[in-house]
Amino acid sequence: MSDSEERVRNEHAGDARAGQELEPAEALEELLQEIVDALGLDVEIEVEEREGVLNGRIKGDDVGLFIGRHGQTIEAVQHLAQRIVFPGGAARARVLIDADGYRERRAEVLRDDADDAAEEALRTGRAVEFEPLPSSERRIVHEYLRERGDVQTHSEGEEPQRYVVVSPRLER
């Protein structure tokens, strides 16, 4: 854990009920409230845990600042939330953060891009590379294209410049 993550966790823990451990859902809600307050956003926060996923949702009129350019802020918040809510690496749930349906809208764009890349790979017979994507977005592309039998995917590069490559499936 980096020094800044440790500091944020310690500050967050200090705000928690005088040394009492918070349940993950409570910890996530408290963390999200601190972030939106610091950003000056007037939003509602919902936290729900089910099927191994801890969902934090922000709802309001102006969540663009929370989402950030190309989703960078929401991705950073999600990463930090995972580390703060489940310190030590062993997590009983995956933390997902969304703001006014951004994740589903972004997933739809990624699926459309994946279809375009698959069609281009099949048309040209060559691999097609995506722009660098965060791991959560790469996962969407891999899972979506796995359903097709005519293309295959893999990731290349080093974080944060890791990207998906779509290529025609080789005949066996």
- pLDDT tens for each residue of 71-102: 999 999 999 999 999 988 777 889 999 999 99
Residues in the chain: 172
Contact 167, 128 (CB under 8 A): yes
**Domains with residue ranges and CATH for the chain:** 3-100 (3.30.300.20), 104-168 (3.30.1370.50)
CA distance 95 to 78: 7
Q: Is the pLDDT of residue 119 over 70?
A: yes
Query: For the segment 31-52, what is each residue's pLDDT rounded down to a tens digit?
Result: 999 999 999 999 999 999 999 9
Q: Is the pLDDT of residue 167 over 60?
A: yes
pTM of the model: 0.78
Q: Is the pLDDT of residue 135 over 50?
A: yes
Q: Is the pLDDT of residue 17 over 70?
A: no
CA distance 100 to 57: 7
